[in-house]
Amino acid sequence: MERWRDRLALVTGASGGVGAAVARALVQQGLKVVGCARTVGNIEELAAECKSAGYPGTLMPYRCDLSNEEDILSMFSAVRSQHSGVDICINNAGLARPDTLLSGSTSGWKDMFNVNVLALSICTREAYQSVRERKVDDGHIININSMSGHQVPSQSVAHFYSATKYAVTALTEGLRQELREAQTHIRATAWPLTGAQLLSRLSLLAQCISPGVVETQFAFKLHDKDPEKAAATYEHMEVGPSEAIHFLNEGRGNPGL
């Protein structure tokens, strides 16, 4: 991890859950981290906690609506002008709406597609360009996916969400192929690696991590009008903590992802 000190990582959806855990872990290892979300209050609190803890890295909150391409481009422009560019892009942001295929709202479908698929793709493109234009020999693109991107869940409210996560699986593999076809020194990896391997390769990695059920506020946002149903989501499942993502900096094996 020493080689990544003072390098810059972008973490989308850093206001809570896995995104916040990833941001904290990277700051602990001495990286400069831009943590973005639509609201940055929680990220500001996390940044203060990291500073008080004496972590060698820095967490910089950035307000960005990932459903808006202009916001994303503005963020990358700001990172370019203030910090040269992005070295690691962790596409973590994602959302679900309880809109089924037979009766769901078009607006709910669009919300999921815009963040889970389009924002991820735009951030990937801009991060790649940032690495290439600076002639950087290494870098990472890591997509936080879901097991719903590999098997369709039985709950009807999750079917469209699952479709967006299947898209992430396809996009990660497609990115790997495009990088290979471009015959650049940048290469992509499409199979699971341990955390130590992810942050030690001398190349641009396209990596897709697919957690199972993780203890975050995800279900409560999905069922925002029915907190009891949200709580019940986790009652009969083996749930992992968000901090399981700390395997990224501790070099442990795959924690059930």
Q: Which residues are catalytic?
A: 161
Residue 46 identity: L
Q: Classify each residue of 116-138 as buried b or exposed e, where b means 16 or more C-beta atoms within 10 Å of its C-beta.
A: bbbbbbbbbebbbebbbeeebeb
Count helices and strands in the chain by DSSP H and E runs? 10, 8
Compute and round to an integer the Cα radius of gyration of the chain: 17
What are the φ/ψ torsions at residue 110 (nearest 5 degrees)? -65, -40
CB atoms within 10 A of CB 173: 14
